[in-house]
Amino acid sequence: MSTPSTEGQVPTTSAADGARALAGVVLPVLARGAIARRPRAVLGAQAAELDARAVRTMRHLRERYGPGPVQVRIPRRRFTFLLEPDQVHRVLNASPEPFAAATREKRGALGHFQPEGVLVSSPEERAVRKPFNDDVLEAGSPVHQHGQKMADAVQEEMDALLGHVEFTGTLVWDDFVRAWMRMVRRIVLGDSARDDEAVTDDLVRLRKDANWSFVKPTRRGHRDRLLRRLADYVDRAEPGSLAQMVASVPAPPGTEPHQQIPQWLFAFDAGTWATVRALALVAAHPGAAQRARDELPQSPDLPFLRATVLESLRLWPTTPAILRDTTEETAWAGGSLPAGASVMIFAPFFHRDDTRVPEAHRFAPELWMRERTDADWPFVPFSGGPAMCSGRNVVLLAASTALGRLLERHDFTLEDPPLSADRPLPGTLSPFHLRFTPHPLQ
């Protein structure tokens, strides 16, 4: 067995461990589609329990290479895996410098549909774009000033969905995602965008290319058309929409307001996966649906349902790999990391390591029903620090409201249940293949 090299830098794994990390951690993330998920690949990952294996691989790296971080050499690139909670907090809290969110990988991928988005911006651009995103999305506020209008859109679309599933007798992914996207277009662009599937289709096309990063040329025609349509919605500024906020929130030079919108439309997709999986958690855990129903009339901010969505995101993070590039040399207990190093936080490792997190594989909404700080073990479904997700409260509002509406007058059972309250929850759960039977309450 070869010995890890140190030479003043943080350790690099042996070639064998590097290959194991590449095959077991990095490639499964890419194979499933980092930007647009490939449902069949996700089902394959579920069958092969790839995420549970990835967590075991990460644990092996920590056991072998000490507290880390540890570098993994892959063709033409080195990834540095963080292995301890304090490293995660440090990196996320020090974005964008010296840990830049606009990594080479993200610029390659997101450039296909949001070349001026905040996530791929330089520190100077970020200085105006991040506050703009935070202001429009009211990042720090659990209920957005358009919250009632958002909730109305969610409830109307969920009611239409329920009408449909009562007729078919089953709730399946395709029906849910159609209703969800109508709701998203109404929230983001305005009610008149409800049936503008062309916007979503253009974005999906570009996101599929984004899976291939720099390898695929950008479809500039599609991208320009998408951005033009988004600019039209901003001009229309329908009352109660985020487009209206974009039109009215002050935007200093360099903000590129309408070019921030593709990220929001794209990111709402993760909300679909999280919500469907959260419904599966509720269906699989006796008492959870009633607990949700009990809070509906009492707590407009739906704490239990929010915590359920957050649990769905802890158990099955929709951004499993949070990436940062170092902008200067940084010092660590195990040595230094040069500028330009690629740092990876593999969220499932921190969310699902049962040697450190007793609740790792069970539904534990109580984890989220109190304030969390950097003193806590890192659960980072929305990242953290200055580049934390600006849309977290908007999406949690939409998802918890959607779940509340579905559960208000229905129970749901899972068909061929891939999860149960009596077993450890699986490391991977394809939302695309879940099927529910609705049972109207008497």
* Site of interaction with ligand HEM (CB under 6 A): 101, 118-119, 130, 133, 137, 263-264, 267-268, 270-271, 274, 313, 318-319, 322-323, 381-383, 387, 389-391, 394-395
| Pure H helices in 138-260 | 147-168, 173-188, 197-210, 220-236, 242-248
Residue nearest to ligand HEM (CB): 391
- CB of 254 vs ligand HEM, minimal distance in Å: 15
* Long-range CB contact pairs, 220-225, < 8 A, 24+: 223/112, 223/113, 223/115
Of 23, 17, 20, which is closest to residue 3 (Cα–Cα)?
A: 17
* Cα separation values, 439 from 89, 290, 308, 392, Å: 44, 13, 21, 31
Choice between 82 and 438, CB closer to ligand HEM = 82
Buried b (16+ CB within 10 A) or exposed e, 348-383: bbbbbbeeebebbbebbbebbeeeeeeeeebbbbbb
Q: Which is nearer to ligand HEM, 348 or 381 (CB)?
A: 381
How far CA 230 is from CA of 107, 257, 325, 440, in Å, comes to 21, 10, 30, 39
List beta partners, residue 435: 172
Least spacing, CB of residue 406 vs ligand HEM, in Å: 17
* The pair of three-digit structure tokens given for residue 201, joined into one six-digit string: 């289709």
Whether 35 contacts 110, CB under 8 Å: yes
Q: Which is nearer to ligand HEM, 12 or 186 (CB)?
A: 186
Q: Is the Cβ of residue 9 or residue 318 nearer to ligand HEM in the bound state? A: 318
Q: How far is the CB of 130 from ligand HEM (least distance, A)?
A: 5
What is the closest distance, in whole angstroms, from the C-beta atom of residue 149 to ligand HEM in the complex?
Answer: 14
Query: In the complex, what is the shortest distance from the CB of residue 360 to ligand HEM, in angstroms, rounded to a whole number?
Result: 19
> Which of residues 171 and 389 has its CB atom nearest to ligand HEM in the complex?
389
Contact 52, 38 (CB under 8 A): no
Are 403 and 282 a contacting pair, CB within 8 Å?
Answer: yes
- Cβ-based nearer residue to ligand HEM, 243 or 407: 243
CA 43, CA 32: separation in Å to the nearest integer? Answer: 9
Which residue type occupies 385? Answer: G
| Tokens describing residue 123 | 């520190």
55 or 345: CB nearest ligand HEM: 345
Q: Report the residue number, 162 or 313, with the smaller CB distance to ligand HEM.
A: 313
Which residues does residue 436 pair with via DSSP β-bridges, in sequence order? 171, 414
In the complex, the smallest distance separating the C-beta of residue 255 from ligand HEM, rounded to whole angstroms, is 12
Smallest separation, CB 120 to ligand HEM (Å): 8
CB of 330 to ligand HEM, least distance (A): 17
Nearer to ligand HEM, 137 or 302 (CB): 137
Structure tokens that stand for 188 in this block: 């983001």
Smallest distance from ligand HEM to CB 268, Å: 4
- Evaluate whether 114 touches 343 at the Cβ level (below 8 Å): no
